[in-house]
Amino acid sequence: MKKKYLINLIITILGLFFFTIFLNYTIDPLNYLRFNPYSFFSSERELKARMIEEDLYDGMVMGTSKVTYLHTEDIDLEGKILNAAFSGAMPEEMLKFLEEKNPDIKWIAIGFDWFTFSETHYPYEDYSSEKKMFSKQFDEILAYLVSVNTSGYSLITIFKMFSKTNLLYTRWGSRTLIEKEIKHSMVKDYSYDDELQILEDRYYSRFKISKRRINDVRAIQEWATKKNILFIGWMNPLHEDVYKILINTIHPDALLLPQALSEEITHFIDLSKLFSDKDYFWRTDPFHYLSSTGEYFFEKHIVPLINEKMVMELK
């Protein structure tokens, strides 16, 4: 009796084990194995890495969470454009992504933010080793497949699929806007006081330009030049109230960041003050500009430069 019970127990445990692996492999909720078009969780670093592995693109945009809202499918350029931006993307991370994934593209445009050049708030990470950061090793994949947490995400994904929950990302890698737009439309009278204080504390107090991150930007330019890829950099627009905090909080030398970047990037545009009116930003969020704002300045300032340089190369 005990032997039969033990056998049944072992069979049950093995059954659950292999079912867990099958479920997590099939659903892959966090994009460890492949690009999952049904993405309901913020796993941008995995998602963008899988997308560049599985498809070919003519161009790429990168940057922080601001850039993730830029819908590349709406940009008036020929070819397929991947939005490879991810939240909190530091220069050293973007450099590692490009070196590791080595995308076969014609051009890349990166939107930079002030806070990503501060080691005070965001310590520098050294990714110079040979260890892969955006590619998963066998032990990582196995741990992911047998994880109870992964199973939870898989089950939630199935539930969200059947309940037709809005996806987090488009098939071009951009963040979807439905939930953000609903919140935006519901807010008429708004104040940014609390958000501005958080931004001051989190991003701009004790700000000092990181020379190591400037060096990483230089390395991105060198990578692009070596591969004959057009690289365009821009400084992201800042809400007028956020810009006031910036100039009143950080050391005057740190205000020279756009100039420092322009010395490292062959084609660089400082947009930090050009689109600062509050109507260019979400009513619930003074840090992120509207998707329409991103598309507008991209069409106005970046697209003509891409077209011009592409035509020059053909000649």
The whole-number average pLDDT for the span 272-293 is 86
Measured CA to CA in angstroms, residue 283 lies from 9, 115, 183, 188, 311 at distances of 57, 21, 8, 8, 40
Least confident of 56-60, 250-254, 304-308: 250-254
Cβ atoms 278, 239 nearer than 8 A: yes
For the chain, the structural domain boundaries read 44-134+173-314
% pLDDT > 90, the chain: 40
In three-state secondary structure terms, 265 is coil
- The band of 271, judged by pLDDT with boundaries at 50, 70 and 90, is very high
Q: Are strands 81-83 and 285-289 parallel, antiparallel or unpaired?
A: unpaired
List, in sequence order, the alpha helices (H) in 79-177.
Answer: 91-101, 138-146, 148-162
Helix (H) or strand (E) holding 81: strand 81-83
Please report, to the nearest 10 degrees, the dihedral formed by the alpha carbons of residues 90, 93, 94, 100 taken in order. Answer: 180
Cβ atoms 65, 88 nearer than 8 A: yes
Measured CA to CA in angstroms, residue 222 lies from 27, 209, 265 at distances of 39, 21, 9
Whether 49 has a pLDDT exceeding 60, the answer reads yes
The whole-number average pLDDT for the span 42-64 is 91
Please report, to the nearest 10 degrees, the dihedral formed by the alpha carbons of residues 189, 194, 196, 200 taken in order. Answer: 180
44-134+173-314 sits in which CATH class? alpha beta
How large is the C-alpha radius of gyration of the chain? 22
The whole-number average pLDDT for the span 267-287 is 87
Whether 311 has a pLDDT exceeding 60, the answer reads no
Q: Are strands 267-270 and 81-83 parallel, antiparallel or unpaired?
A: unpaired
Per-residue pLDDT tens digits for 108-159:
999 999 989 988 888 999 887 777 888 888 889 999 999 999 999 999 888 9
Per-residue pLDDT tens digits for 248-270:
887 787 888 999 999 999 999 99
What pLDDT, on the 0 to 100 scale, is given for residue 312? 59
> Which backbone phi and psi does 191 adopt, to 5 degrees?
-135, 140
Cβ atoms 29, 153 nearer than 8 A: yes
What pLDDT, on the 0 to 100 scale, is given for residue 314? 44
N- to C-terminal Cα distance for the chain? 84
In the block, residue with structure tokens 């840090």: 287
| pTM summary value | 0.89
In three-state secondary structure terms, 216 is helix
- The band of 315, judged by pLDDT with boundaries at 50, 70 and 90, is very low
> Which backbone phi and psi does 235 adopt, to 5 degrees?
-90, 125
